[in-house]
Amino acid sequence: MTMQRTKKRRRLHPAWLSVLFLLVVGAIAYYAFNEGPPFVHGFRVSALMDDANALRRKSPVRIAGVTVGKVVDVTGGPGNTTKVEMELDPQALPLHTDATVRARPRLFVEGGFYVALSPGTPNAPVMKDGGTIPVPQTRSAVQLYEVLSIFDRPTRASGKQLLHATADALANGGADGLRRMNASLAPTLRDLALVSQASRGTAPHDLSTVVAQTARISRTLAAHDVALGGLVSNLNTTATALASQDGALGESIAELDRVMRVTPPALDALDRVLPKLGRFSRTLDPGLVAAPPLLTRLSTAVTQFGSIVEPRERRRLVAAFKGTLVDFPELTTRLTKLVAIVKPISDCVTSHVTPILGSKLDDGALSTGRPVWQDIAHALPGIASAAQTFDGNGYSLRYQAGGSDRTVSTGPIPGLGALTGVLPGPSQIEGSRPVWVGRLKPSDFRPDARCEDQPLPDLHSAPGPSGLSASGKTTKIVAPTPGALRPLVQLLRGRTKEARR
């Protein structure tokens, strides 16, 4: 009886059996529709595409044709974009930030579309889990209806016209021409191979540079689609005109064949000339750099000259020139008199004033070693200060009391009054500099003598005898009266009037 109770206790409750059954069924259903354990996923990355209607969940993700992941979700993105979330296998890593995504159709027997993934370049940073590939790096799939929509009515009409033109060309001896062209096809293909090999360039990145420049040209053409349409229309008109003149076109092609035969020697000669032309171009390059500003200025000058010689401006210009030409003789006469007056002054400046200003004064211990003109310039601040005030106390001069029992005083000086000082020592004043030449008389001035004929003055300043003594008496220095200089002023005025005559 005890054994039966033990077995009865170990038997599971029906509710637990139901839960266990549901878990097993749920696991089987999950693994039927999903791969891998739940709540765990691999490396995921999103791509924003303009149109991803062709992609579905579980669409394969391939790199170079090898499946490396799948699409796990397709949802709406920012704006009018579609967000395609992909889960990649470890073999697809690393993925860089410049990776590109394209939606491409699979084989006809497979059906649907797949994601063509390019992992990017190694120089770009590595993309982390959960990263996003932007719209400029994605391309949508091209549907069949989009291809067929290109062949609208005008396009179909142009295609029909092209087929008729091709049929006419083949029917009117074109097929025979193609048959005869087989003989020259081999050398043509050989030359084409040489051209293709040369198009690869001689240095690294030559071909990439050509591709980049071609891309720039394509972008420029795409930005001017209206002008491009006009170019195609004009090309169609040109082709129609050539088709109407097929006989002349055949003769032109025959002449072109002869030109092509003569072209290689000409190209050889051109090849020999190109190095010299390159050196000439390098020599000419600095001149070309400097030419635009000069040409701009020349163009401006020509424009201004053209505005001057216009009919409405020509009369004013002729009137202005007429007044100038009439007044020019009188101006020349006056200039002749002026030159006669100014020439002696300029000669004196050249022969005497300039050498004196450039010389140096020998003043013993007081010599500065500078030219005379610099000493004059340095004296100007002292003269300017003397014309104002002696110091901040006003029009007065302070001096030190004492120092000697011998005094020296001057007579009354206009604007200053009498000045008084003391001797530095027991002896008399040593001397004065420069030596006083005495009072000059009007006869001492010789305005009739030419300046350039006179010797240069001697600027040597030797000390003269003392002009003052320490006898205790006062020696007055009287300034010259204005009347003493009146004869000299009258004489100079007379000479000036004679020179003007």
Backbone angles phi, psi at 397, to 5 degrees: -125, 130
Number of neighbours of residue 118 by Cβ within 10 angstroms: 15
Among 463, 355, 319, 478, smallest CA distance to 411 is for: 478
The pLDDT, as a whole number, for residue 489 is: 57
User: Are the C-beta atoms of 373 and 357 separated by less than 8 Å?
Assistant: yes
pLDDT per residue as tens digits for the range 33-52: 555 555 556 788 999 988 77
Complete DSSP assignment for 408-477: EE---BTTTB--EEE-SSSSPP--BSS-------GGG--TTS-GGGSPPPP-----B--S---SS-----
Strands 407-409 and 138-139: unpaired
The pLDDT, as a whole number, for residue 469 is: 46
Fill in the amino acid letter for 215.
Answer: A
Buried b (16+ CB within 10 A) or exposed e, 81-115: bbbbbbbbeeebeebbbebebbbeeeeeeeeebbb
Number of neighbours of residue 484 by Cβ within 10 angstroms: 13
Angle at 412 (CA atoms; ends 472, 429), nearest 5 degrees? 35
Please tell me the distance from the alpha carbon of residue 132 to that of residue 379, in angstroms, as a whole number: 82
User: Are the C-beta atoms of 120 and 99 separated by less than 8 Å?
Assistant: yes
Instruction: Indicate whether this model's pTM tops 0.75.
Output: no
The pLDDT, as a whole number, for residue 99 is: 92
The pLDDT, as a whole number, for residue 230 is: 83
Residues of the chain with pLDDT under 50: 1-3, 109, 392, 400, 402, 426-428, 468-480, 484
Structure tokens at 386: 């003397």
The pLDDT, as a whole number, for residue 496 is: 57
Give the residue carrying structure tokens 């394509």. Answer: 218
Structure tokens at 495: 């000479």
If residue 380 lies in a helix (H) or strand (E), which one and from where to where? helix 372-386
If residue 241 lies in a helix (H) or strand (E), which one and from where to where? helix 225-244
The sign of the CA dihedral 356, 357, 359, 365 is positive
Structure tokens at 110: 């497979």
